[in-house]
Amino acid sequence: MRRQMLALKTRSILTITTIIMIGLITFVLFQFTLLKELDNIIFNWFKSNFGNPQLNFQGGLLNDYLTVVAKYGDVATCLFVAIIIGIILLSKKSYLLGMWVILTVGSGGIAGIIMKKILHRDRPYDHLIQDSGFSFPSGHALSSTMVIMILLFLILPQLTQYVLRIILQIVIVVIWLSILVSRLYFHAHYFTDVLGGVTLGVLWIMISIHIYRVILNFKLDSRKMS
């Protein structure tokens, strides 16, 4: 019964994120006025309140903090974290799960790059030189979302100390939200780019979970037959 409920939740999340993703891709292709205005409102709010911040440690405490999370919340760092998690799982003989973590984050990052090249959405006009390439979806948002889901739902539940687990969950969520905000703060992306990255990250994890379950069930059935 519990497995059926989990499978139902996975399918529901998969359906919802698929619908949102299709909607965002359609918006990027056809530039619907409502979402375009939302992007402009949020972009102008950050610009009017924070100006044109630079990715350095010379703009005050907030700028310093967001510089750190922007530099180390990228695709490469998230993939490195996923590889470390995967290696730890492999060392504990959780071979299928370890490979799943590495392949999920790696393939998700590749999917984001391919989507950028297909959709060709330009970044905000005054983005930093460091932020090259196309804008949708945000690679930072995509990769950090995948890693945080793995940490929150796979790794941290293994901790037996309740207080420590809650503290780490809060810290991880704050860091993740900071990464998302940094993309808007530094004018690297529009809001819908960040939303697209988060949505694709959740969608990719859900697809990967489904594939993992299929493989796991196949292995279990094979063992029963043998």
Question: What is the number of domains present in the chain?
Answer: 1
pLDDT of residue 3: 54
CB-based contacts of 220, cutoff 8 Å, min separation 6: none
Separation between Cα atoms, residue 10 and residue 202, nearest integer Å: 10
pLDDT of residue 127: 82
Question: Of 3, 17, 15, which Cα lies nearest the Cα of 196?
Answer: 17
At 99-151, the pLDDT tens digits run: 999 999 999 999 999 999 999 998 998 787 777 789 999 999 999 999 999 99
Distance CA 196, CA 108 (A): 13
The gap between the terminal CA atoms of the chain, to the nearest Å, is: 26
Host domain of residue 138: 2-225
Residue 1: what pLDDT?
A: 47
Per-residue model confidence as pLDDT tens digits over 213-223:
888 877 776 66
The pLDDT score that the predictor gives to residue 4 is: 52
Separation in Å, CA 181 to CA 19, 51, 80, 91, 219: 24, 15, 22, 35, 42
pLDDT value of position 8: 61
Q: Give pLDDT, residue 218.
A: 76
Residues of the chain with pLDDT under 70: 1-8, 221-226
Question: Helix (H) and strand (E) counts for the chain?
Answer: 8, 0
CB 193 within 8 Å of CB 35: no
* pTM (two decimals): 0.89
